[in-house]
Structure 1
């Protein structure tokens, strides 16, 4: 019998993994920076991540989404991961967590 995994718990594991990925120009992880808009996990343990970049001209526009995809795919039970980039709504400092703002001396 196939093991059933709670998709909510898997979602929490994904968030933990996302918090290990840092924007190379800002010493804050991409989750606290507010770059992750949504994490969706279906019953087949396939993950879709909707994220943005700090700007359309971001120097890591080519590599960061691939890093996110690879790290999420490395999580046990995740069968596949797809990252979609959006600029709607555009990223702003308002999307940052209090923790990120504190880290960057913005509070």
Structure 2
């Protein structure tokens, strides 16, 4: 099974429960995990902005990584793009990797902090 098919299956249940495009996109983002921290990128706070055009099926996403020297900086935006592109109703995805403001632990959700034993 390809990574793309695995991603589709991994978030199929969550996506089915989400009635709007934003909910389906967030469900897809929660299937993508940081390669160094066992938490999904959405709850880790790596997603800075999510702009949706439902009529055009377009998603623009601004995100960062936990560190600028992250070894997957070149390939990870493509992984995120593929996950979002698999969402029903999405035809076009643009992922922009940004470094300002720098990521900090303050951006993490309570669920992520709990999962990492920080709460």
Structure 2: which 5+ residue stretches go unaligned? 1-18
Aligned partner (choices 52, 77, 97) of residue 64 of structure 2: 52
Structure 1 residue 87: deviation in Å? 1.1
Kindly report which structure 2 residues correspond to 1:70-89, keeping only aligned pairs within 5 A, or say none: 70-89=82-101
How many residue pairs are counted as aligned between the two chains?
100
**RMSD of Structure 2 on Structure 1 (CA):** 1.2
Alignment partner, residue 13 of structure 2: none
Structure 1: which 5+ residue stretches go unaligned? 1-7
Q: TM-score, normalised by structure 1?
A: 0.89
Q: TM-score, normalised by structure 2?
A: 0.80
Equivalents in 1 of 2:46, 2:58: separation in Å?
Answer: 20
Alignment partner, residue 13 of structure 1: 24
